[in-house]
Amino acid sequence: MNIQTFDSPIAVAEAAARDAAETLARAVNTHGRATWVLAGGSTPNLAYEILSESYRDFLDWSKVTFLIGDERIGPLNGPDNNWQIIEQLFLQHIPDATFIRPKSDLSAEDAADDYIGRIKSIDRFNLIWLGMGEDGHTLSLFPNHPDFNPDDDRLVIPVHNSPKPPADRISLTLHALTRSEHTIILATGASKKDALTNALIDGSDLPIAQAARQNTDTLWLLDEAATPSANTSS
């Protein structure tokens, strides 16, 4: 496994921002365009601020297509909406890019079907960011949840009765993650250590571990507080 450990969440965010800018610039140079699957969460949000402040002129952002890995069902401008937060921190500063925002003001089923229709023609995700919860979930794929089927061949699923509010969501599936060229997993804080200890065991069935195995180019960016003692090297 490719694991890098840093001394703080801000250092993790700085590494993630730098990696994102470099990865997307290479994709634009190689393919003419790039596609990035965003993640919500405190550490990604730090990285979005860094990108906005330090990397706005690093590449031609108008050639990047943005989508998001999961979204909470509710008002588009509501406090639970991941996209809304990312837009405030970063996306509003690059208005010429292409944005594929989930219609999260629909029902979970309708929002998932609509999202599938708008992303199914994208055969390559140049970059995917994934966060991880204290229970080892990623996206809105929760351990032992009835809506999480590792063999689901859809790109997007509706999720109900989430163990974290709000209850209804949509999420990319493990199958969708196989389209990734480069995946970054960001995890910080001591509350993540137990889940990471489990996730980094060969054959772990935690959603984050299964997600990591969908792509051979997966980089884990962790801070020291989250890193299991056996994986503390930078």
**CATH number of the domain to which 133 belongs:** 3.40.50.1360
pTM of the full structure: 0.95
Tokens of 43: 């550490």
* pLDDT in the model for residue 230: 61
Q: Is residue 20 part of a domain?
A: yes
* pLDDT in the model for residue 224: 97
Q: Is residue 185 part of a domain?
A: no
* pLDDT in the model for residue 33: 97
Q: Is residue 214 part of a domain?
A: no
Q: Is residue 85 part of a domain?
A: yes
Q: Is residue 192 part of a domain?
A: no
Model confidence over 138-187: pLDDT tens digits?
999 999 999 999 999 999 999 999 999 999 999 999 999 999 999 999 99
The residue count for the chain: 234
* Domain, as residue range, for 124: 2-167
Q: How many domains does the chain have?
A: 1
Greatest alpha-carbon pair distance for the chain in Å reads: 45
Angular region, 28: left φ>0, alpha ψ -120 to 50, beta rest: alpha
Model confidence over 177-191: pLDDT tens digits?
999 999 999 999 999
Q: Is residue 38 part of a domain?
A: yes
**C-alpha span between 73 and 11 (Å, rounded):** 32
Tokens of 120: 């199914």
What DSSP designation does 16 have?
H
Q: Is residue 227 part of a domain?
A: no
Model confidence over 75-133: pLDDT tens digits?
999 999 999 999 999 999 998 999 999 999 999 999 999 999 999 999 999 999 999 99
Q: Is residue 58 part of a domain?
A: yes
**C-alpha span between 30 and 155 (Å, rounded):** 25
Is the pLDDT at 219 greater than 50, yes or no? yes
Tokens of 127: 């970059």
